[in-house]
Amino acid sequence: MAVIILCIALVLVGLVALVRWGGLAVEPPPTSRPAGTGPTDPPPVSLVVRRYLWYLAVALLSGAAAGILAAGAGGRLVMRLLAVTAGADAQGQITEAQEIVGRITVDGTLGFVVFTGLFFGPMSAAVYLLLRRWLPAGRAGGLAFGALLLVVAGTRLEPLRRSNPDFDLVGPGWVAVVAFTLLVVFHGMLVAALAGRLSRAVPLLAARPGAIAVHAPLLLLVLPGPSVALVLIIVGVLVVLVSRIPSVVAAWHGRRLLVLGRAALALITLVALPGFTMAIVDILGRT
């Protein structure tokens, strides 16, 4: 019972954060240039690297927080709801994750919440930071991002994966669809809200204890393995190289790319919609 109460408290914290900061846009870090450089001159490499690390820090912190408060704690509550509504026959059955339906353990809950927060959360926040310029302004942007997560990834990865055998155990299907739909949209909106708030609190990396402490969690990115760190380093090198090409930078900030990006997101959503619909229909017909 204490585990469920804690999860409820965490979700409530997430809802409060969403209400308070849901309308905040991400504020990029300052771009002060050395004296003697003009607006068309490439920024110093050190500034580009610090800005790149700033975005990584905002993605990690906002994503981990949203992952724990929404996808983690909220996901655990949804699982409990589905176990309760599944009926007596499902109790004691083994799920795909080798958990027992109807049994709540502290270790299992902690592992699920931490894993979701540290892995799924930052990934979704990084995607949001990349796509935010093509999303609507204000709270509508978070809602649009949550809907995009749901349609594009919700039925192909988690939590509404069509091939998940657990939907044959717990349910009914309509409860799973409604609960997980609300959860994914909530997570997307919370990522946007926390990213907007933290963008105002996270400073650029500098030789100050406070700035170093805020960026220290980036060391956690080595936990998944050296491949993740290598990818991030390669991306950082590419960012530095691209920043040396004024025409590419101008095109990135141009209106044409803004229109093309929004059109691409709309096209991706339309392409993903039939598969999403079929998966939802399949889950609704089970249990």
Q: What's the pTM?
A: 0.90
- How far, CA to CA in Å, does 207 sit from each of 27, 212, 213? 22, 7, 10
pLDDT over threshold 60, residue 73: yes
Helix boundaries (H) for the chain = 2-21, 45-66, 73-85, 106-115, 121-131, 139-149, 173-198, 209-215, 226-243, 246-252, 255-284
Provide the 10 A C-beta neighbour count for residue 258.
13
pLDDT over threshold 80, residue 4: yes
**146 pLDDT tier (thresholds 50, 70, 90):** very high
Contacts of 287 (CB under 8 A, 6+ apart): 86, 167, 168, 169, 170, 171, 172, 173
pLDDT for res 177: 93
Residue in this structure with the two tokens 């996901």, named with its chain if needed: 75
pLDDT over threshold 90, residue 278: yes
pLDDT over threshold 90, residue 119: no
- DSSP for 79-99 reads HHHHHHHT-GGGTT-B-TTSP
pLDDT for res 55: 96
pLDDT for res 70: 94
- DSSP for 175-202 reads HHHHHHHHHHHHHHHHHHHHHHHHTTTP
Q: Where are the domains of the chain?
A: 2-24+44-284
pLDDT for res 101: 67
If you average pLDDT over residues 42-47, what whole number do you get? 85
| pLDDT over 70, % of the chain | 90
**Higher local confidence (pLDDT), 106 or 180:** 180
If you average pLDDT over residues 245-263, what whole number do you get? 88
Entry field: residues in the chain: 287
Phi-psi region of 36 (alpha: psi -120 to 50; beta: other; left: phi over 0): left
